[in-house]
Structure 1
Amino acid sequence: MEVVIEKFKPKITRPFKRKNEYWVKLIDEKEGEFIMKFKTPLEAEDAIYGLLDLQVYGGRVKLELREGNVIENLEILEVYKPSAKELVDEYFSD
């Protein structure tokens, strides 16, 4: 199943071992939880660093999902990088 999410800004967990795999959860308040599975902890860490802009700024993504909200492929279509003024306004408005 292929899904396009417009405003995706996930919180990403540290890798944890489960069933001889390393899992990383992407948790979005609106869309729910998604899981990425890796064979080694190094692959999982690389994925986390690769998704850093998405965690900080949010963006538009296309996900190919299989049963249980497991991500088979994640394509970042656009990263919303706000201006410095927008970041400062957001920081001080909360």
Structure 2
Amino acid sequence: MQLELLLLLHRDPDASWTADDAAQHLRAAVPWAAGRLDDLAASGLAEAVGPAFRFRTAGPWSATVDEIAGRYPARRSTIIGLIFAGPAAGPNGRTD
């Protein structure tokens, strides 16, 4: 659901979303939405605009989010599966 929230912000970078608005749109609890919006801002994926948040288009992850957003409608199950699979092991068998 965190990805859904990020993609909601990404969909219209000029729009600002309050926790109430995001929670209603995603059918989630307001405290959950408020916490995740704070998390997105802390990670640099969103920026606070007063009591609301919007996607941070100039952030270091914006191109990656653009790519995920483009593939998500057709590959939703695959992307969700990758999220729940966790990090892939490298050639040495480690995930770091």
Q: Same fold (TM over 0.5)?
A: no
TM-score range for the pair, normalised by the shorter chain length: 0.3 to 0.5
Q: TM-score of the superposition, structure 1-length normalised?
A: 0.33
Q: TM-score of the superposition, structure 2-length normalised?
A: 0.32
- Which of structures 1 and 2 has the larger relative contact order (alpha carbons within 8 angstroms, sep 6+)? 1
